């Protein structure tokens, strides 16, 4: 396994991050345990989850599974850089969502209980909350840091100007601020090349891409899938819309004798700003295939052909659209 620093911190994380969103809805608890065990064996030390995963409001299905895995062998916790998220609706009350100091504190306490741990290594804001001022957010995060309940603060789905504002607001408070941003990024969705990636590079913010395989589009989707998320109707609609590109992509993968999912992941890993793409295996076998991708290096000719099939926005702003 290869390791890298998380943004401008001294924390080292594996070049692949284990995403746990399948744990519960698509992967049984027993198989989830097997995936986490195998992740440690492969050297993956970076696990990502969220309090809303499992999609039963207020239950925290996935966090509970992780908590029971930690409880099953308490030595596991010290081997994992644990990341979870706050923002999503966790109840019916008016303060059971978003980023008020009130909700941040309660959500953190609840996540700690579910995951049976005394601290969260990376506590991420799952979305921007335009109604909660930065002074309030940082007050809550700083309090949790001082109490030893979280170590680092991250974001997810932020625009570049949100990252800039957060960076300078933290400087005013003489605090570390946001150290990572979790954004959607793949060959299929390259919007963040305009501004988010340049912002991450400028501010020393680690980039953690989610959905690096395009939500299944880049995983050999034209082969009939019998189970998993590739069977969902929204994905099939996307396939119909993008069929010419998908066919060209899968043909290129055949030419270079590589699995489409491996090429998609290798392409994301090729970006030097990327810290750790999130892989969300449904089985141990999928996890092992993902791990092999670290050995796959795409040559310039292949990268050029991928750009032709899945063109990006043209580079960073404003040069991408202006002189």
Q: Which of the residues 5, 53, 168, 185 is marked catalytic?
A: 53
Pairing verdict, β 12-14 and 3-5? antiparallel
C-alpha distance from residue 281 to each of 31, 118, 288 (Å): 10, 27, 9
Distance CA 275, CA 264 (A): 16
Distance CA 171, CA 153 (A): 14
Q: What is the per-residue DSSP string for 124-178?
A: EESS--TTS-HHHHHHHHHHHHHTTSEEEEEEES--HHHHHHHHHHHHHTTS--E
Cβ atoms of 181 and 125 within 8 Å: the answer is no
Pairing verdict, β 17-19 and 46-48? parallel
Beta strand segments in 202-292, E:
206-210, 278-279
Residue 102 among the catalytic residues: no
Distance CA 83, CA 153 (A): 10
Question: Hey, which residues are catalytic here?
Answer: 53
């Amino acid at each position: 396994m290869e390791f890298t620093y998380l943004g401008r911190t001294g924390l080292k994380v594996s070049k692949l991050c284990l995403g746990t969103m399948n744990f519960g809805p698509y992967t049984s608890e027993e198989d989830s345990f097997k995936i986490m065990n195998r992740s440690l064996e492969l050297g993956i030390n970076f696990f990502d989850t969220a309090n809303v995963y499992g999609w039963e409001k207020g239950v925290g299905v996935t966090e509970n599974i992780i908590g029971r895995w930690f409880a099953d062998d308490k030595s596991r916790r010290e081997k994992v850089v644990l990341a979870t998220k706050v923002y999503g609706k966790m109840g019916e009350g008016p303060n059971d969502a978003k980023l008020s100091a009130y909700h941040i504190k309660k959500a953190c306490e609840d996540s700690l209980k579910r995951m049976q741990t005394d601290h969260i290594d990376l506590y991420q804001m799952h979305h921007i909350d335009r109604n909660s001022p930065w002074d309030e957010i940082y007050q809550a995060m700083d309090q949790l840091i001082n109490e030893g309940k979280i170590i680092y603060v991250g974001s997810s789905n932020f625009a570049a100007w949100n990252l800039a504002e957060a960076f300078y607001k933290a400087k005013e408070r003489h605090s570390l601020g946001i150290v990572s941003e979790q954004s959607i990024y793949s060959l299929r969705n390259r919007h963040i090349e305009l501004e988010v990636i340049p912002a991450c590079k400028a501010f020393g913010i680690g980039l953690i891409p989610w959905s690096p395989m395009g939500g299944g589009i880049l995983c050999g989707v034209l082969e009939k899938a019998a189970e998993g998320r590739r069977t969902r109707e929204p994905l099939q609609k996307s396939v119909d819309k993008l069929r010419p590109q998908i066919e060209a992509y899968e043909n290129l993968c055949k030419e270079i004798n590589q699995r489409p999912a491996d090429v998609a992941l290798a392409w994301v890993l090729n970006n030097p700003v990327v810290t750790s793409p999130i892989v969300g295996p449904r089985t141990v076998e999928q996890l092992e295939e993902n791990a092999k991708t670290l050995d796959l290096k795409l040559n310039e000719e292949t990268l050029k052909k991928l750009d032709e099939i899945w063109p990006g926005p043209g580079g960073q702003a404003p040069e991408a659209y202006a002189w």
